[in-house]
Amino acid sequence: MAGSGTAHLRPGDALLRAEHLVIEFGSGERRVRAVSDVSFDVVRGETLGLVGESGCGKSTTGRAVALVQKLNGGSVCLDDTDMAHVSARQLRKARTHVQMVFQDPISSLNPRRRVLESVMEPLAVWGIGTKSERKKRAIENLESVGIDADQTARRRPTELSGGQCQRVSIARALMLEPKLLICDEPVSALDVSVQAQILNLLHDLKRSRELTMLFIAHDLAVVKNVSDRVAVMYLGKLCEVAPPEVLYRQPAHPYTRALLAAIPEPDPDVPVGSVPLTGDLPSPTDPPSGCRFRTRCPRAADRCAAEEPQMREVAPGHFVACHYSLEPGEAHVSATRAVTTDRTAVEGAHEANGGGNLPVDKPAGAPSPTQAASSEAHL
Amino acid sequence: MRLPRRRLHLEFPAATDLEGPILEVEDLHTSFRTQRGLVKAVDGVSFQVERGKTLGIVGESGSGKTVLIRSVMGILPSTAVERTGSVRFSGHDIGSLSPSELRDVWGTQMALVFQDPMTALNPVVRVGRQITESLRKRVGLDRAAARDTAVELLKSVGIPSPERRLKAYPHELSGGMRQRVMIAIALACGPRLLLADEPTTGLDVTIQAQILDLLGTLQRERSMAMILVTHDLAVVAGRTDEIAVMYAGRIVEQASTSVLFSRTRMPYTEALLASIPRLSEPSHTRLRAIPGRPPDLALLAQGCSFAPRCAYVQDRCREEVPPLRTAGPGHRFACWFPVGSPEGAEALASNLQAHLPAAEALAASTGASAGATAPAPSDGSPATVSTSKAGGS
């Protein structure tokens, strides 16, 4: 997996088009290629979910799209303007169209400023409106993200909870009415209950303000909830791009399948499978040849070491970069069989039955009586 | 130089000699004196952990989970703390032990895996020495034997090329690796009870699955008891024997894992379960967030502390604290209008009529998902859980 290519880009006027992005850090021996030939596009009103493990380059990609990361190759086009060819002044102006919400809600706000000052700041930087107008806009925005401005606007970030800080960050990011909102792991530092509040808020804002979003996260369940299209990233490359329903029902890439299997189900009757992926991400200083996932891939063959897979369309709108992608019918079976060592035959049989044929809106398989029994036996 | 083994102050019976639970916590209160008043972080908690079993403790940030774990370990700060109640571990009352006696408990009997592997490891000491420290001082191994044991430990927690890793500093390891090192340190002296405080929060889902599997395997191999603390019910669903749900310093529901999920009584447990985004739901499904946020433990109002956020709330909830009631063998809950009871259904209906936001959110989410999953009923979905509740019990 983890291949190159641009087959998944859509013709027409995308709001954002990133092509062949290459971003490197360091120099000489220790040169790290954090992002290596990644291409994607986002059309207006769409939410693209970007998923991957820590260190796969998803945040760096987000920074590149936010125009705050120097590129070593490739281009970022916003509204059909290639940002590589604009003046510094235009670039600065263009950054107002792309705003970001960061992972750690508390440290992304200045601890010495009051909430209202932080939210007014973007307007002050650009000299928009008078001070009282800026204040009015800031209060409106705070109210729209569910913050009681009367009580909270005069407070400092340390007096707020993580969820409230994240709301303030969102209000601040929306002050300049950006064309694209980049959310970099906005909920991974929050409790599940608060996470649900923030996800619902983003959903409402997207509808009321017709937001276009790039949503970066490592949790596939969260990404599924917010996205219209999902891109899976591994070690600086894209593996698979598809609408969420398709991606979750029929993952074509072994890595996507492994990521899906790792999500814990809030149901004690679903047996906990064995770990589908072993080890950590290989070092990006010395990535494996050919397909970058082959060192952890249950299906790796000689061809994977020699030849880098290119993005290809396996179904309408479903793109994968893998030489031996999983077929819809066998997807779950083969991946699970290949990587598990200690499953009982009953569970294996269940996977075979439940894997591809069910009208799956329950990926790990809702518990059948046999399965419940086998899971008890398993424990 | 060989360190003399420290003389033990306490006697611990061999694992096979003891019967009954390894840990018994009885009416534990831990409060902090602050400028804002007394913060009741743990407010009357009782539970037991059987040998070789796993207890999950679930709650939001600020529900008192970490303070509870620290009270059990006896590692609370020495000033401004008020602590009452008893923590009995293998027949010893942790609260009455002197610091030197406590040191006989830590590591060899009871060990803790901290939440944040970044800050819990010493950044200027090599990983190897952090693992061997307790082996040399507690178990009294010589340098070579301690090193060999450390290599074995790193191998057992799944760290590749362990000899090389012994010489690494924590910053040279990834987050998952650091958490494995933390687990290796906790297991070094073969504890009988392992406390894991949010061991996978902040890690990737793939690494989370690896770490949880590892804890499960090691627990079975060593027949340890374990307390797994988390804010995510999904994490503990498949990996615990029993779960206690905490809210505002109290246990509000406790049951065996399967009963807790299938016969939920406490509205808070129900709400926590419903707020988890599920792969089985179509995208853009509206999540049932719990409105509001956990109460300030310094300013607890009278009545049930979940009342301001509850969909079932009635006047009685705002006035009287519900006691822990028994719903079945090993199933306790604290609620006047429990989920799945006629009183609860009535309370919810009257709140719906009064347009209480929490009740409307509950009705909207269960109504929507019931429609969506109607053609293919699945056991685990919140829709069927709530319909079965509405129908029976």
Whole-complex ipTM: 0.78
Who's near A42: CB < 8 A, 6+ residues apart? A14, A15, A16, A48, A180, A212, A213, A214
Given an 8 Å threshold on Cβ–Cβ distance, is B205 in contact with A277?
A: no
Average pLDDT over residues B157-163: 84
- Is the pLDDT at B166 greater than 60? The verdict is yes
Is A378 near chain B, with CB under 8 Å? no
Residue-wise pLDDT for B174-193, tens only, equals: 888 888 899 999 989 889 99
Mutation target among B203, B205, B235, B257 for the A interface, most CBs of A within 10 A: B205
Which one has a higher pLDDT value, A340 or B351? Answer: B351
Class of domain A1-97+178-258+284-339 as given by CATH: alpha beta
- Is the pLDDT at A350 greater than 80? The verdict is no
Q: Nearest Cα to B317, choosing from B296, B302, B299? A: B302
- Is the pLDDT at A164 greater than 70? The verdict is yes
- Is the pLDDT at B380 greater than 50? The verdict is no
Which one has a higher pLDDT value, A354 or A105? Answer: A105
Lowest mean pLDDT among B13-17, B198-202, B223-227, B310-314: B13-17
pTM for this prediction: 0.81
Chain A residues with CB under 8 Å of B115 CB are none
Q: Which residue of A has its CA nearest to B380?
A: A267
Q: Does residue B331 lie in a domain region? A: no
Asked whether the beta carbons of B376 and A359 are under 8 A apart, the reply is yes
B360 C-beta neighbours (distance < 10 Å), count: 14
Give whichever of A37-41, B34-38, B159-163 has the largest mean pLDDT: A37-41
**Domain count across chain B:** 1
DSSP SS3 for A214: strand
Confidence of residue B377 (pLDDT cuts 50, 70, 90): very low
Chain B residues with CB under 8 Å of A163 CB are 293
Asked whether the beta carbons of A257 and A234 are under 8 A apart, the reply is no
Q: Does residue B134 lie in a domain region? A: yes
Chain B residues with CB under 8 Å of A359 CB are 376
Confidence of residue A351 (pLDDT cuts 50, 70, 90): very low
pLDDT score for B201: 79
Main-chain dihedrals φ then ψ at residue B304, nearest 5 degrees: -70, 130
User: Domain range holding B174?
Assistant: 118-184
pLDDT score for A338: 37
How far lies B188's CA from each of A150, A248, B5, in Å?
53, 41, 16
Distance between CA A197 and CA A178 in Å, rounded? 22
Q: Does residue B149 lie in a domain region? A: yes
Asked whether the beta carbons of A59 and A184 are under 8 A apart, the reply is yes
Q: Does residue B154 lie in a domain region? A: yes
**Residue ranges with strand state E in A7-117:** 16-25, 32-42, 47-51, 73-78, 81-82, 98-101
Average pLDDT over residues A113-119: 94
Distance between CA A212 and CA A195 in Å, rounded? 20
Residue with the two structure tokens 């060593």: B222
Strand duo A229-234 + A237-242: pairing: antiparallel
**131-160 in A: which are within 8 Å (CB) of B?**
none
Residue-wise pLDDT for B232-263, tens only, equals: 888 899 889 999 999 999 999 999 999 999 99
Given an 8 Å threshold on Cβ–Cβ distance, is B276 in contact with A266?
A: yes
Q: Which of B60, B235, B286 sits opposite A264 (nearest CB)?
A: B235
Chain B residues with CB under 8 Å of A104 CB are none
**242-261 in A: which are within 8 Å (CB) of B?**
244-245, 248, 258-261
DSSP 8-state secondary structure symbol assigned to residue A250: S
pLDDT score for B77: 84
Chain A residues with CB under 8 Å of B215 CB are none
- Is the pLDDT at B392 greater than 70? The verdict is no
Does an H or E element contain A90, and which?
Answer: helix A88-95
B272: left (phi over 0), alpha (psi -120 to 50) or beta: alpha
pLDDT score for B6: 58
Q: Which of A226, A280, A361 sits opposite B174 (nearest CB)?
A: A280
Q: Does residue B106 lie in a domain region? A: no
- Is the pLDDT at B8 greater than 80? The verdict is no
All structural domains of chain A with their residue ranges: 1-97+178-258+284-339, 343-379
pLDDT score for B375: 36
Average pLDDT over residues A255-278: 80
Asked whether the beta carbons of B41 and B31 are under 8 A apart, the reply is yes
pLDDT score for B84: 92
pLDDT, mean over chain A: 82
How far lies B219's CA from each of B17, B224, B240, B363, in Å?
19, 5, 11, 41
- In this prediction, what percent of chain A has a pLDDT beyond 70? 84
Confidence of residue B278 (pLDDT cuts 50, 70, 90): confident
